[in-house]
Chain A
């Protein structure tokens, strides 16, 4: 009997080595799923070869209307870490996917659910919630990634999330974070210097999503094309906006993933420059990284600012 048990034990050892051996020899990378490319870029910079990162969105989508694709479900199902922007930016589509992803460890509140809005000084938090005020964000303006100083907090949150779930790699994550933050600091210093001409630049945006950027670089938002968040403009609102743009000599109209119909209409009537800027990274090779995306937006605004205010 004893010999039989020993033989069984040896067989189990061999089977175990065959099955588990390759896994031990070649550790699987940590699978990170992010909701936006900004976070994917940061997670890659912090995780380096230890991670395999995938973003659910590509950078061209309107964040409040991302299609709920079932092809996202297997990705979420296999994820070791889910990194989100938070502040309800993904509320229109992510909860429905998590509902069927069968991955309890990445559900909100769990250790592998990394909310990058933690520690952000959130602006425009509504005092009261009423849909009469449009499609308001209950937790405040979620477009905080447009302020590069918040990029440092986002990166820190990702590093903390990685260390919390994979403490054995903490040293590597911290070292990579330090390098990334140094790179970001250099970029921020450069942006603050070159963006000096943007101080006081008046603009109108389609949606109220440029507050963080405007606060950082000293731009002044004069109005929005939307009547209220998520509500398309009425004819009266457009007439009033044209008047305001003329009076205030607003040189720039910014829009993002929305239609260019109203921005162009406004520009045709006022002579202002229309700029399509990105709210998130991705969408093109130039804006693939977080630094590249902020760079792109600043360059585009500087080019528009050179033209000066409207006559």
Chain B
């Protein structure tokens, strides 16, 4: 037994020793494996971070490349478009009406297609032109050069343009708040203040807007037939203009704009008149505006009017005589919402030779803005006429006007 025990003790001890040695070896192996895995993960993490950095870098490079490509594309486009890239801004306004005049009948009236062209000439001037085609003719309504960098707050304009007389005379008819040119403006001024000549404006260096204009022209007024502007003549037979214009903010939402103009022609000789006489055409314009700043798209009210006075020698039954003819118009227009506005025009147009005879016009109108560039207008007019010169200027009249604008078509500060 002892022998057995002594014989078995050795292998047991050996087994015990082996077992005791085996487990630490196994633990050590696991530890190493863990360490190895950790190192692997760290390595992979580093590789992943490196890959992410590379992706980020590539994305940046791609963005840079994309920007470069865009720049190259732009340059290529610029080179390709080089012949036209400096072309002026071009726009077209189309103005047509369907009309019915009680005393004259109906008409589809293609009033005008007006091509507007404008661009800077150089750092010192810009130029613009408006070429208008109507059912009667095609004419250059305006083609003028305007300085942009004269010193001392001066600005010069030369060529053919709408002279700085009054307010509405400087509007092209498609920009009126109503359908027709007021008869008072048409008879006294001659419609738009179209003139060939030169103008110099001065902006007073005051906190208040105050602007003065002096001008000299062949004649003033699109329908003015008193002088033949195609021939050279004495400087006394030209028209000279002075205008002073100001503006006051009554509140943030309300303003008043005032202007006074005088156009003087020293000498006009009428056919059959033994002596010449001067012509004075004066005008006072006033415009009140209510424009709630936060709601200019939807609300607003404008009350505007002009008073004109014309003094010149005219032919009457009793012979040639100096006559003063006063007239004018007033209108109000309210914006109902973004698309609709409504207004009323009152017009007092005298006969220039017999101011006692006059045409009084009453015209409610309604405007529907389909968009900023597309407009329909309905107008009814009643003209109480005792001048009896034109059939179309009396009685009941109905108008439907459609005006659209294509491209860049703007008349700038004067028609705000």
Among B12-20, B106-114, B206-214, B348-356, the one that faces the other chain is B206-214
Contacts of B289 in A (CB 8 A): 67
**At the interface, yes or no: A166 with Cβ under 8 Å from chain B?**
no
Contact B297 A67 (CB under 8 A): no
Tell me which residues from 145 to 170 in chain A have a Cβ below 8 Å from any Cβ of chain B.
none
Please state if A71 and B209 are interface contacts (CB–CB under 8 Å).
yes
Of the candidate stretches B247-255, B267-275, B315-323, B325-333, the one touching chain A is B247-255
- Which of B148, B153, B297, B410 lies in contact with A65, CB distance below 8 A? B297
Q: Are B412 and A62 in contact (CB under 8 A)?
A: no
Chain B residues with CB under 8 Å of A69's CB are 247, 249, 255
Please encode chain A, from 263 to 302, with 1 for each CB lying within 8 Å of some chain B CB and 0 for all others: 0000000000000000000000000000000000000000
A73 touches B203 (CB 8 A): yes
By the criterion of a CB under 8 Å from any partner CB, how many residues of chain A are at the interface?
32
CB of B102 within 8 Å of the partner chain: no
Identify which of B150, B293, B416 gathers the most chain A CB atoms within 10 Å of its CB: B293
Closest-CB distance, A259 to chain B (whole angstroms): 5
CB distance from A187 to the nearest CB of B (A): 26
Q: Across the interface, name the chain A residue whose C-beta is closest to B369.
A: A232
- Interface 1/0 per residue, A227-261 and B, CB below 8 Å: 00011100000000000000000000000011100
Of the residues A66, A70, A135, A230, contact of B247 by C-beta under 8 Å: A70
B296 touches A66 (CB 8 A): yes
B 284-322 binary contact with A (CB < 8 Å = 1; else 0): 000001010111111000000000000000000000000
Closest to A100 in B: B413
User: Are A102 and B153 neighbours in the complex by a CB distance under 8 Å?
Assistant: yes
The one of A61, A96, A100, A131 in contact with B296, judged by C-beta atoms closer than 8 angstroms, is A61
Query: Is B154 in the interface zone, CB < 8 Å from A?
Result: yes
Q: Is the CB of B372 within 8 A of A230?
A: yes
* A259 and B291 contact, CB distance less than 8 A: no
Task: Check B247 against A102 for contact (C-beta < 8 Å).
Answer: no
What's the least CB distance linking B34 to chain A, in Å?
38
Say whether B296 contacts A67, CB under 8 Å: yes
Nearest residue, chain A, Cβ from B206: A74
Across the interface, which residues of B come within 8 angstroms of A71, CB to CB? Answer: 208-209, 247-249, 255
Q: Which residues of B contact A (CB under 8 A)?
A: 123, 146, 148-150, 153-155, 201, 203, 205-209, 211, 247-249, 252, 255, 257, 289, 291, 293-298, 337-339, 371-373, 406, 410, 412-413, 416
Q: Sample 13 A-B pairs with CB under 8 A, ordered by A number.
A: A68-B413, A69-B247, A69-B255, A71-B249, A77-B153, A100-B155, A101-B203, A102-B155, A104-B148, A131-B406, A230-B372, A257-B295, A259-B298
Q: 7 shortest A-B CB distances, which residue pairs? A: A104-B149, A70-B247, A60-B294, A68-B416, A70-B209, A102-B153, A96-B413
